[in-house]
Amino acid sequence: MPARKTLIAALLGFLALWGAWHIYSGWGLVNLDFTEAPVSKILSAISRQGGIEIASDLDPSTPVTIKVHRVPPLEALDIVAVRTDASWRLAYVGAQNKGAIESALAAFRAKQTAEGWTTHGSGGFNAAQPGSGAALDLRMIEWQPQSGGELQSLLTQAAEETGVALAAPSDWSSQVDKPEGGRISDAAPALFGRAGGVCREVFLLRGPQPGEEGDEDGGGWRGRRAWIGSAPGNGKGGQGRPPFGDPESMAKRVEAQIKLLPPDEQKKAREDASMAREFWQSVRELPEEDRRAKAREFFNRPEVQERMEDRRLARDAKMTPEQRIQRSQRYWDRKAEAKYRGGGTR
């Protein structure tokens, strides 16, 4: 009898451990099965299951259909973005107190500009993307500040060298002597902390913006408008600043993002980045009209077209069938219009 009790106890212990491992192994993965459900309900489920905070300016009642099983939360968020014609960014929002952060996020949710705030990296984008089309998790990107300095300058440096957005009150000008490096998920909160403030990690999901270009790279960027407050510069979206930062910072951002790709994809990504960098360096000093002509030639190269097609197909896979039909119709409409303007049809 004692031996039997011992065996039963051991079996129960094994089952408990197996159950705990099963739960732990799926921790942070997302399961969704919604048909025409309000986007607010879906975002709440992603946030709860994936352990991330999401702030969105979409109409909460926007209907979304999505069915996924055990996917990373950012992949689920990316699918929602595609199906609502939205775009998303990882952001670290810092201020001297929690109330200021909540006020800035409330303005974002209400499609308003957070007065007195600056978003660094408002024109950033993902320079690298896994071949599978999965969303890149920039929380893991490494940032190594070279030295201390004024907070706003360090925020610009971090944004341009990683691709994440960092937002703070524009008049917050604390000096930071020894900023910590490492993963941006640790380095950004530490930077705000050393400046005497607090920080929140939040994924911003922003709906279509009037007059801005569509997002074609899955979690990339829309136009030049800041996400919270203004962009660095003259307070009108950062006009006068290079769209992607200085070349050195851009090179660091590309390499840092490439390191997040699967090992077998990094070599090809570096080759693509080198080809693009050489091209842009070759046309930097050309007049605008000549630069545009050279850019058209570059994007028509077979190898560039192939890469763009891979990205398009990866994004199309996240669309609903209806969206793919509408996209195809828009394409043929543009072709017909271009042919008409060119004199091919009367």
Are 193 and 333 found together in one domain?
no
Residue 148 lies in a domain: yes
Are 232 and 146 found together in one domain?
yes
Residue 24 lies in a domain: no
Q: What is the dihedral of CA 321, 323, 328, 330, to 10 degrees?
A: 160
Task: Classify residue 213 as exposed, middle or buried by CB count within 10 Å of its CB (0-12, 13-18, 19+).
Answer: exposed
Angle between helices 302-316 and 288-299 (to 10 degrees): 70
pLDDT range class, residue 12, cuts 50, 70, 90: low
Q: 185, 158 in Cβ contact below 8 A?
A: no
Are 321 and 187 found together in one domain?
no
Residue 109 lies in a domain: yes
Number of domains forming the structure of the chain? 2
Residue 78 lies in a domain: yes
Are 227 and 343 found together in one domain?
no
Residue 1 lies in a domain: no
Please say if the pLDDT value at position 72 is more than 60: yes
CA-to-CA dists, residue 17 to 11, 21, 315, angstroms: 10, 6, 39
Are 173 and 124 found together in one domain?
yes
Q: What is the pLDDT of residue 176?
A: 94
Residue 198 lies in a domain: yes
Are 243 and 340 found together in one domain?
no
Are 87 and 228 found together in one domain?
yes
Residue pLDDT, tens place only, 117-145:
999 985 555 777 777 778 899 999 999 99
Are 227 and 307 found together in one domain?
no
Are 175 and 252 found together in one domain?
yes
- Alpha carbon distance 56, 39 (integer Å): 10
Among residues 106, 102, 54, 107, the alpha carbon closest in space to that of 78 is found at 54
Lowest mean pLDDT segment, chosen from 55-69, 203-217, 237-251, 305-319: 237-251
Structural domain for 259, as ranges: 30-209+219-301
Are 329 and 234 found together in one domain?
no
Are 234 and 261 found together in one domain?
yes
Q: 211, 223 in Cβ contact below 8 A?
A: yes
Residue pLDDT, tens place only, 191-243:
999 999 999 999 999 998 765 544 444 444 444 567 898 888 644 444 444 44
pTM of the model: 0.81
Are 169 and 275 found together in one domain?
yes
